[in-house]
Structure 1
């Protein structure tokens, strides 16, 4: 590795370890390259060029649009309706509200596509409901954190969209590939709940006075949220519209539901939704722009080629490299967010694994699954901090309570990594592989 590249990577790691904002760390490290590398000062304009062209990609438009759609659906009370539907489906089981937490996240994934959005929207409702029913608050918060990481695996998924944009892999294929692994995460968490419910004496929590008419009413109320991902996936898989167009349709659909069906979306609420969405999208776009500069620097220094040569020289088998990368991504989850990992490492490692015969669609699901689990990797996973913030439970207690769910998630990661059929079967059935 050349000295300038070593200095830039070292500076990036140092700034992040010191607690610098991610945007500042990536942006400053990229800028420093032009001062450290001999002869690069006259080419400083490349920094601005790569920054803006990195953001100027059509598919990136889908991210703020999906964020807006998710914010609208949350604002009009869709989260409460999905929780009620989940209670209708699994509330009668022992540990019913714990199952509701997992099923609610499965359903909400079709609305938000974001783990942190899931925790923010569903977390306060689920934790309060579980605490009222006698569940330990640390258990409720830990389960909320763990169940939320399903969201970005089950389509539509913002991280999968990012991976597709960075690697030129089919978004439709990635969406299909993420469905089974996402459901496996939920089923694994349910097995943990099944064991703990009997050991700790959790009780069922069915809906009181349930009748057929009430059940149909609950299903009707949640229908609009369930129907949205069907529109998105159906349109993309049939070729009617692209992922970006699907995101725009999702916004239009959410507006129609709020204005015409539920009639509770005011102009004031819409303005607040746009304000939150703009702030979130702006931070994402800044990271995308600065990460594009870093990606150009890595390519300019021929780091992908050097890594490929290193893999060849050590004669690493694909399964060994996947194991190393799994550990690498999980450790990075301690201090690097999911989007940053995707932006920095997806373009770097995908070509190497593809040259070794690993399907890019399979690797995309494995990587996204990795960075999502990294959000709850103790002791510093970002989702753990958010769960602590919304629940008022100390981080240490949430980490301890989350360990059984972390173990189940890691088992699913191992299965998805080494059984490619789990992620590739659906794309192949639809003719993508």
Structure 2
């Protein structure tokens, strides 16, 4: 009951116009001031500090800086040019290109929040300048980060496999097809919205092979950029956080010495812009640590899970109920926290019910990551809206078609598990 009141307080503060970070922080901290709470007040401060001690969280500021450097180094322009050549002839050509680029770079950082922040800088600003509404651009880029949950390297899949004693290799292979399905679903949704809005194609006709080859050669170092990151992470050369540092060095070298577009002045501007972005985004993330702690301390996830898993016996119905429960919690708690908290609880239950843990792992990661892109307290949503300066109301309205596309894909994954499992079963 107390957790419900805390959530209502946060939503009320946001509704009356209080900055999101302070609304979440006040709501979460107020829990420790209640007479019925036996935790010391200092716990609220400790939870805020604890969030800042997360090593994977280092990927967020690093990839925000990377996005700003890419804008001034020539890498972004060349990647956009190639993506526009491949998809620019479709309705809403630049938006379609952004989804292709999201799929190409979706697993670069392994973090949906980091990818959303980077791509909002890289793609969101050019989209707004070309006539797309900030809400549409923000929703598209934030929800496009859902691909990170499935296409390896996914931090969530690694944690799930470790905690649930599930083969991480099978999880990685199984994530390829759902990632492709999500890309197709988002592109199809974008085409429908673009037709209604009158977003015209960037190109009059599909590209020829010669045109594709020309743009590929012109942007070779830009195309090689995500390849280096993916190969390095997949073969264990560096962690996602270390990949951010490597990517920054790569962008500096390519921008300064190969494309020669990254001047010292542009580097300074990138650092200054990054400071502004990090200050805004990290404050939200830090205060969300207290809020998430209240939810978990009140045992909300365990209570809901216990009810859902004991009241149902049919595997498909059980999976749908658990997925609804994960979707709701994903809107309130960061995905990594949910994975670490619920994986040891849910995996034995769904395995006993006859559900393949690899299948469940992909569905679970998609939903808990997706929750961070939706109201009321989605961190990816806050990040993108802050960078693009769009209201949460506009974002929510524009996100509805994409929310439907993602949920529709999840339903297909649940009803037809072989779509997820055939590739790992075939290769392993």
Task: Return the TM-score normalized by structure 2.
Answer: 0.72
Equivalent residues of 2:174, 2:420 under 8 A apart = yes
Per-residue CA deviations over 1:362-386 (Å, capped at 9, x if unaligned) read: 245322553366379xxxx779978
What is the distance in 2 between the residues matched to 1:388 and 1:141?
8
- Root mean square deviation, CA, Å: 4.9
What is the distance in 1 between the residues matched to 2:91 and 2:28?
53
Q: How does 1:36-75 map to 2 (within 5 A)?
A: 36-38=34-36, 40=38, 43-75=40-72
Residue 269 of structure 1 is matched in structure 2 by 266
Instruction: Please tell me whether residue 412 in structure 1 is matched to residue 409 in structure 2.
Output: yes
What is the distance in 2 between the residues matched to 1:172 and 1:230?
20
Instruction: Please tell me whether residue 146 in structure 1 is matched to residue 140 in structure 2.
Output: yes
Q: How does 1:242-253 map to 2 (within 5 A)?
A: 242-253=239-250
1:174–1:271: structure 2 CA closer, same or farther, 3 Å change rule?
farther
Instruction: Please tell me whether residue 11 in structure 1 is matched to residue 9 in structure 2.
Output: yes
Residue 119 of structure 2 is matched in structure 1 by 118
Deviation for aligned residue 1:168: 6.9
Per-residue CA deviations over 1:232-264 (Å, capped at 9, x if unaligned) read: 222222222222222221222222222222222
Q: Higher mean Cα deviation, 196-205 or 226-235?
A: 196-205
Q: Which runs of 5+ in 1 are unaligned?
A: 132-136
Instruction: Please tell me whether residue 365 in structure 1 is matched to residue 357 in structure 2.
Output: no
1:356–1:332: structure 2 CA closer, same or farther, 3 Å change rule?
closer
1:149 aligned counterpart, secondary structure = helix
Equivalent residues of 2:142, 2:373 under 8 A apart = no
Equivalent residues of 1:155, 1:179 under 8 A apart = no
Deviation for aligned residue 1:10: 3.9
1:238 to 235, 238, 243: 235
Q: Which runs of 5+ in 2 are unaligned?
A: 351-356
1:195–1:221: structure 2 CA closer, same or farther, 3 Å change rule?
same
Residue 134 of structure 1 is matched in structure 2 by none
Per-residue CA deviations over 1:88-120 (Å, capped at 9, x if unaligned) read: 324456876664454344446467853364345
Residue 32 of structure 1 is matched in structure 2 by 30
1:362–1:424: structure 2 CA closer, same or farther, 3 Å change rule?
farther
1:353 to 340, 346, 353: 346
2:24 aligned counterpart, secondary structure = helix
What is the distance in 2 between the residues matched to 1:287 and 1:428?
41
How many residues end up aligned between the 2 structures? 409
Per-residue CA deviations over 1:321-367 (Å, capped at 9, x if unaligned) read: 6545665777899xx69xx6537755555454334325574245322
Equivalent residues of 1:109, 1:151 under 8 A apart = yes
Equivalent residues of 1:174, 1:365 under 8 A apart = no
1:185 to 182, 185, 192: 182
1:406–1:270: structure 2 CA closer, same or farther, 3 Å change rule?
same
1:115–1:363: structure 2 CA closer, same or farther, 3 Å change rule?
same
Instruction: Please tell me whether residue 218 in structure 1 is matched to residue 211 in structure 2.
Output: no
Q: How does 1:366-385 map to 2 (within 5 A)?
A: 366-368=366-368, 370-371=370-371, 374=374
Residue 286 of structure 1 is matched in structure 2 by 283
Deviation for aligned residue 1:178: 5.2
Residue 342 of structure 1 is matched in structure 2 by 335
